[in-house]
Structure 1
Amino acid sequence: MKERKRAASGSHKTNVIPVHWDATFFFERAVRSLDRYHYDKALKYFRRAVEYEPDNPVNHCNMAGILSEMGNYEESNRVLKRVVDELDPEMTECHFYMANNFANMEQYESAEDALIRYLELDAEGQFLEEAEEMMELLHYELERPMKLASVKAREGYFEHDQARAMLEEGKFVEAVRLLESIVEKNGEFLAARNNLALAYYYMGIFDKAMAAIQEVLAIEPGNLHALCNLAIFYQHESNEEALRPLVVQLCKMVPFHQEHVFKMATTMGILGEHGEAYRHFARLMREGALRADACLYHYTAVAAWNMGRMDEAERHWIQAGKLDPKSNVPDYYLELVERVRGGGEMATASYHYHLPFEEQFKLWEKSSEALPDHLKRDPLVRSSFFWALRHGDRSTKLQVIQALGMIADNEVKDALKSFIQEAQEDDYLKRIAIFVLRSMGVHESLNAILEGQETIIEHSRMPSRLPVWEEKWQDVLEAALSRMNKQYDLVQQHDLLTLWIEFLSRVYPDVPKLGKVEAWAAALEYLTAKMHRRTISYHEVSQRYGTSIATVSKCAKRIDEICGIKEKMKMVFPALSETSNES
């Protein structure tokens, strides 16, 4: 019997399959456990998978995921941190997982740090939408925007939004810097190229603006924004031959997206194609997306007005006034309607949603001597200043330099620093610009081209060929400029400085002892006022400077003897004659 059993056993073919235990085996077991919501078992199996393949970061991430599902957020983050610190720094999604864990622990500052690292490091953007939702949560919990610098998955997009904001604020130099860096990194980013072209255009750098647009059209010939910008550039150049066929082409286009419709409408308005502009603005009104925007009613009103539809324009401006009661723009144009109905001349209205420049500067003159904040921030005003600084006549540039001195922000400083390095610009204007920079608190060395030579202007108010510059000489300047600050413009202050340097240069080394600083300062102000045809007396300046009439008169006569002020006033003196007519 035993033998038969043994024989039967030997002849029987077994169905048992040997089990090969490895990481894959435990991974599959873990997944099955997860499907049945058996998290404890799943965690056990993932731990075993890690034991078999300790250098495989995916196994660690799986284990961290289970720990997070079980509410063990701290342990999950320890595992995830080991992955990015030791195993695979390229697994940037671990930072997103850690941000989730920190948020679940209500550690919002740490969640923000981890989320920022994810957004700045992850190129694929696998969890980009979820990250944006978390950003909203953190914004709410921290009661402030996130401290985010860039989004790797949207290379250049975040920076592009910053650049667009700069353009809207009139910070053209800063926008150009940022847009140039974006285009350098991502040449296919056409929106950045288009805005770079506009930034160049606003600054008056037309050759670069045209080149940037041509680069966009070389990549995408039908790019609507580029075609619209090109048409505006052709209009600026008065290139009617190139402009007309382009306008015909644009009129045949039917944009689909709201942004494209708006771009087409504003472009047609600028080109004087008011019927086409009205058609597109009316379409935006019908579609209703911007119906609560006072600007849209203004644009539609302007198109109607320029077509001669006065009643329709009036209706839209009334609605704009209701939507934006604090603005004086609708009221200005409604008054214009009444004037025209009363027999006044019907002038072309501007699409820009602000008062015409003439009206703005009338308000400025009435309000105070300082440039109002809303004009300082207005991108069109700033653009006009930058244009005039490059393309205006000498008198206009002189006025613009003074106006820029009232704005006195970093954008202005950059523009003036660039201006003084232009070889073709007038030296006198560049010296005024240097003086304005010093008046704005720019004390570092400045690079300039003066008299055709590259010059480094050291920390002083103005360059001087004197071998030394005595402290007492500076005291005289400070005494005069501090009292003139509110009563004289920057050009007049600069001319006082020039007069003082000229006097010292001519008498050097036999410079007077300057015992009474205030008397010499008063004499300089008196002579500067005379040069600019301002009414002034020795009695007035002596009182303000706390010195005697006789002493001021003596100092003034000494300066006049050396510098020949009276003789210069009788002849055409470029540094004085032009500005004297403006004082």
Structure 2
Amino acid sequence: MKEKKRAAASKKTKVIPIQWDATFFFERAVRSLDRYHYDKALKYFRRAVEYEPDNPVNHCNMAGILSEMGDYEESNRILRMIIDELDPAMTECHFYMANNFANMEMYEPAEDALVRYLEEDAEGQFLDEAEEMMELLHFELERPTKLAFIKAREGFYEHDQARAMLEEGKFVEAVRLLESIVEKNTEFLAARNNLALAYYYMGMFEKAMHTIGEVLEIEPGNLHALCNLAIFHQHAGNEEELRPLISQLCKTVPFHQEHVFKLATTMGILGEHGEAYRHFVRLMKEGSLRSDPCLYHYTAVAACNTGRLAEAERLWMQVAKMDPQSNVPGYYLEQLGRVREGGEPAPTSYHYHLPFEEQFKLWEKSSDTLPDHLKRDPLVRSSFFWALRHGDRNTKLQVIQALGMIADNEVKDALRDFIVEPQEDDYLKRIAIFVLRTIGVHESLKAVLEGEETVIEHSRMPSRLPIWEDKWQAVLEAALIRMNKHYDLVQQHDLLTLWIEFLSRVYPEVPKLGKVEGWAAALEYLTAKMHRRAISYHEVSERYGTSIATVSKCAKRIDEVCGIKEKMKMIFPSLTEQIRD
């Protein structure tokens, strides 16, 4: 008996007690899932929740089983409870809810849940699946989805926006956005490269070079940065720095199509047309750009510059077929004919539009305003911003007028910056102020005039007069309204200057301005004469609805005070008699 008792006791010690806890039921649930026994899996997950009711993962597993079983509403109820009560950081619940709503064909709520997932989830665990669902929702809702940004790609979405701004020539906006991206993510090299380009387009050369230097400190072999640096050195005429860089780029054989394209265009801009041709031909054979007329144009330019004139002709003829609305292939085929005759050098522009000078010839022939495509062209805009910073006085004057025709927020910001530059010419700054007022900037403006910081109030003209009467303004507006399409901005500004000079000299004994139109007509008449334009008292009196005698009287009074005849005698001796008409 004792032996039997000992044997029984020894058997008891070998029994392993079962640990009834959440982990036990979780494991049972997983086994059931592996065998597709969803009912059992749901039962086990519910038991797991009973043991650990505050564990959001258990609830989430239960919601997943319910979704597999087609009970989407109950699944979403649990997922909502997890987010609202247990763990708001479980952002993946929004993705699961979006799936459930999509399965119920409730596409609006599915979109809301999916957008919330993308905007809140930093890990991006289901990013690819979410983007696929976004395409489905776009198709079902027949509209773009309401997505502001993707948190898991924080900076990437904004970077795409900035790139689009650069392509549209919105350089100031692009700089602001790119600076904020780089500040948040110092390792985002693509954003740094584009920031350097934006600085370059705006004429901020030192900032552009510094930013490229930062990229190359982080990644010395960054191809985009090396290409940009080469172009910057070429622009600055840094031959010693440029030569080894060109040698390095000539030895580079990139794999990715984007890198091949960047290198090809860079080598073309640097004058290494043989290298450019080799890379462009490779793109035409291997790349997905073979249907893009731009690529054929670039290859044609490279071919032309390497003596392959027949090849260039064939390529430009192909461009004409692919893009029959464009005037680019026709212009370059005409240039090619001159090259063959020996009268012209090969064209070197790798941009798919007419050269800058040709575009402006068309503009001058067509109208008094810049065509929309020129206003949007980033190269045209960057040329303007460059010239505003680095051009001579006459070029800057022309650019300020052209910017007045574009008249968007970028232009307003550029002109605001221009008028506070101490080294810029005061006359040009006054023209810029006039342009800002003309294009609708009515708030107070800060400017540096005659070496002093000043604030020009919206209700005043830039003058030293202690007051500015409404009637003085009425004379000015009456003249400018009628001059708008007949005189350029410089001439309109000169009229403003003449009026201010007259009022300043006679103040406070300003004559009673009985008839506004008479004084306005006189101002236009004198301004036209100063700019050697044919005009008569009869012509202006009719346009302003006043008498010849009134215009003549007002013009002579202004001339007496401002000495216009004397000034013109020094500049145009033969014209002084014409003021008398």
In the superposition, the TM-score normalised over structure 2's length comes to: 0.94
Q: 2:316 is matched with which residue?
A: 317
How far is the alpha carbon of 1:39 from its aligned partner?
2.6
Q: 1:523 is matched with which residue?
A: 522
Q: 1:580 is matched with which residue?
A: none
Q: Tell me how far apart the structure 2 counterparts of residues 61 and 397 of structure 1 sit (CA, whole Å).
A: 66
* Residue pairs, 1:482-493, within 5 angstroms: 482-493=481-492
- Quick one: which amino acid aligns to residue 88 of structure 2? P
Give the 3-state SS of the residue equivalent to 1:455 in structure 2: strand
Change (3 A) 1:261 1:5: closer
Give the 3-state SS of the residue equivalent to 1:145 in structure 2: coil
Change (3 A) 1:483 1:79: same
Change (3 A) 1:109 1:502: farther
Q: Tell me how far apart the structure 2 counterparts of residues 101 and 546 of structure 1 sit (CA, whole Å).
A: 74
Q: Tell me how far apart the structure 2 counterparts of residues 311 and 526 of structure 1 sit (CA, whole Å).
A: 58
Q: 1:174 is matched with which residue?
A: 173
Alpha carbons 1:375, 1:381 under 8 Å: kept: yes
Q: 1:30 is matched with which residue?
A: 29
Q: Tell me how far apart the structure 2 counterparts of residues 23 and 527 of structure 1 sit (CA, whole Å).
A: 95
Q: Tell me how far apart the structure 2 counterparts of residues 505 and 106 of structure 1 sit (CA, whole Å).
A: 75
Q: 2:234 is matched with which residue?
A: 235
Query: 1:21 and 2:17 equivalent?
Result: no
* Residue pairs, 1:155-166, within 5 angstroms: 155-166=154-165
Q: 2:219 is matched with which residue?
A: 220
Q: Tell me how far apart the structure 1 counterparts of residues 571 and 450 of structure 2 sit (CA, whole Å).
A: 20
Deviations 1:222-253 (A, max 9, x none): 11111111111111111111111111111111
How far is the alpha carbon of 1:454 from its aligned partner?
1.9
Q: Tell me how far apart the structure 2 counterparts of residues 7 and 222 of structure 1 sit (CA, whole Å).
A: 79
How far is the alpha carbon of 1:288 from its aligned partner?
4.1
Q: 2:87 is matched with which residue?
A: 88
Q: 2:277 is matched with which residue?
A: 278
Q: Tell me how far apart the structure 2 counterparts of residues 243 and 403 of structure 1 sit (CA, whole Å).
A: 34
Change (3 A) 1:359 1:87: same
Q: Tell me how far apart the structure 2 counterparts of residues 536 and 451 of structure 1 sit (CA, whole Å).
A: 34
Q: 1:509 is matched with which residue?
A: 508
> Which stretch of the first structure deviates more once superposed, 6-15 or 474-483?
6-15
Q: Tell me how far apart the structure 1 counterparts of residues 79 and 9 of structure 2 sit (CA, whole Å).
A: 54
Deviations 1:146-203 (A, max 9, x none): 2322222112111111111111111111111111111111111111111111111111
Q: 2:199 is matched with which residue?
A: 200
How far is the alpha carbon of 1:110 from its aligned partner?
2.2
* Residue pairs, 1:387-426, within 5 angstroms: 387-426=386-425
Q: 1:451 is matched with which residue?
A: 450
Alpha carbons 2:45, 2:62 under 8 Å: kept: yes
> Which stretch of the first structure deviates more once superposed, 19-28 or 481-490?
19-28
Q: 2:578 is matched with which residue?
A: none
How many percent identity over aligned positions?
84
- Quick one: which amino acid aligns to residue 222 of structure 1? G
Deviations 1:528-563 (A, max 9, x none): 111111111111111011111111111111111222
- Quick one: which amino acid aligns to residue 215 of structure 1? E
Q: Tell me how far apart the structure 2 counterparts of residues 73 and 571 of structure 1 sit (CA, whole Å).
A: 90
- Quick one: which amino acid aligns to residue 289 of structure 2? L
> How large is the Cα RMSD of the aligned pairs?
2.3
Alpha carbons 2:171, 2:198 under 8 Å: kept: yes
Q: 1:307 is matched with which residue?
A: 306
Q: 1:103 is matched with which residue?
A: 102
How far is the alpha carbon of 1:460 from its aligned partner?
3.1
Alpha carbons 1:435, 1:461 under 8 Å: kept: no
In the superposition, the TM-score normalised over structure 1's length comes to: 0.94
Change (3 A) 1:107 1:456: farther
Query: 1:385 and 2:347 equivalent?
Result: no
Change (3 A) 1:24 1:506: same
Q: 2:437 is matched with which residue?
A: 438
Deviations 1:29-60 (A, max 9, x none): 32233233333333233223222212111111
- Quick one: which amino acid aligns to residue 46 of structure 1? F
When the two structures are aligned, how many residues end up with a matched partner? Answer: 573
Give the 3-state SS of the residue equivalent to 1:454 in structure 2: strand
Q: Tell me how far apart the structure 2 counterparts of residues 475 and 103 of structure 1 sit (CA, whole Å).
A: 64
Q: Tell me how far apart the structure 2 counterparts of residues 119 and 10 of structure 1 sit (CA, whole Å).
A: 62
Alpha carbons 2:304, 2:346 under 8 Å: kept: no
Q: 1:68 is matched with which residue?
A: 67
Alpha carbons 1:197, 1:213 under 8 Å: kept: yes
Query: 1:463 and 2:462 equivalent?
Result: yes
How far is the alpha carbon of 1:66 from its aligned partner?
1.8
Change (3 A) 1:144 1:447: farther
- Quick one: which amino acid aligns to residue 224 of structure 2? H
Alpha carbons 1:434, 1:462 under 8 Å: kept: no
Change (3 A) 1:545 1:177: same
